[in-house]
Structure 1
Amino acid sequence: MQLILDPEQQQEIKSMVVQAVNDGIKRAANIKPYLNRKEVAKYFGVAESTISYWATLGMPVANIDGRKLYGKQSITQWLKSKEEPKPEQNKKPLAIAVVKDE
């Protein structure tokens, strides 16, 4: 199937695409950097109790007038600091054969 558009229609489609991209960028920029416990648990895909437990382990928490807020970026950095290096795989030594001339 072939679709032929006149220049006005092409410009209209380009404008719609540019507007959609700009709207997406604006939405992404408006994402909240701090979340409550329920929101941050959903963001990281864990239970709310896990967030409470992580806080006892030293995860950063902002406490504003008794209200706890969790910074996504701070928690991500904290989690990265807890990562362990990937262990070396136990490599088996290559078998070496000795050939004797007889």
Structure 2
Amino acid sequence: MEKDRPNGRMTRFRAHVRRNRATHLAWRGGVLVVGASVLAVGVVMMVTPGPGILGIVLGLAILATEFAWAQSALHRARSAADKAKEKAMRQAGRRRSQD
């Protein structure tokens, strides 16, 4: 039953990659390169037009699949985004009540 689910296949694939030190390091290196690239594009989009926050969160999410420091940074970024959302909603509510 488990092998019919995509999640089961991914779990088995990652276990297979982790068995060999060289493939494990190559996998982590690839995740680092892809995640850092997406994160860098997100940072650039913060000062240029584009969804910078989305790029940063996506880059951290990619990195968090392999690195604990990225997982904690992603958690902090999500909580900061939630706080910013709540603040924006409160300010929007105040503007509506003043009109």
- With normalisation by structure 2, the TM-score equals 0.32
Please state which structure has a larger fraction of its residues in helix.
2
**Of the two, which has the highest radius of gyration?**
1
Does 1 or 2 have the higher relative contact order (CA < 8 Å, sep 6+)?
Answer: 1
Please state which structure has a larger fraction of its residues in strand.
1
- With normalisation by structure 1, the TM-score equals 0.31
